[in-house]
Amino acid sequence: MPSEEVMKAAMQGYIDTFNGGNAEEVAALYAEDASVEDPVGSPLRRGRAQILAFYTHSIATGAKLSLDAPIRGSHANAAAMAFSARVGPITVRVIDVMTFDEAGKFTSMKAYFGPGDLLKG
């Protein structure tokens, strides 16, 4: 199990890499057989190819991410972060929960937000 510091650093790297605009680098943060459920309740994306396609589209929207609170670790192989995704005039308040493998790669990501978390202006 990776340390809390490794998990927090990986999640900060996710924010920084996404904002840098390189979908391939974001996808490389994931294990080969990882899954993404963004938002929770949507179809699961599994494997590096589907994850890369998801981030290629997400980054192309011009979205920028900013933390709303410190990243939280756990006593297990998971961590969470609250952040805002700004896409044009809309801000989406999100909580991502990621699980990790021994190498510190994401094995899953679940993004929690609903219609009430979309803010205009």
pLDDT tens profile 73-101:
999 999 999 999 999 999 999 999 999 99
Cα–Cα distance for residue pair 7/36, rounded to 1 Å: 17
Structure tokens belonging to residue 14: 């996710």
Q: Is residue 48 pLDDT above 80, yes or no?
A: yes
Going by pLDDT thresholds of 50, 70 and 90, the confidence category of residue 1 is confident
Which fold would CATH assign to domain 4-120? Nuclear Transport Factor 2; Chain: A, (3.10.450)
Identified catalytic residue from 14, 30, 55, 96 = 14
Rounded Cα distance between 81 and 22, Å, is 21
Task: Establish whether 14 is a catalytic residue.
Answer: yes
Q: Are 83 and 96 within 8 A, CB to CB? A: yes
* This prediction's pTM: 0.94
pLDDT of residue 121: 72
Q: Is the pLDDT of residue 28 over 90?
A: yes
pLDDT at residue 44 in the model: 97
**Per-residue pLDDT tens for 4-27?**
999 999 999 999 999 999 999 999
Helix, strand, coil in percent for the chain, rounding step 5: 30, 40, 30
Choice among 30, 33, 38, 112 that is catalytic = 38
**DSSP labels, 70-107:** --B--SSSEEEEEEEEEETTEEEEEEEEEEE-TTS-EE
Instruction: Note whether 94 and 117 are within 8 A (CB).
Output: yes
**What is the residue-averaged pLDDT of the chain?**
97
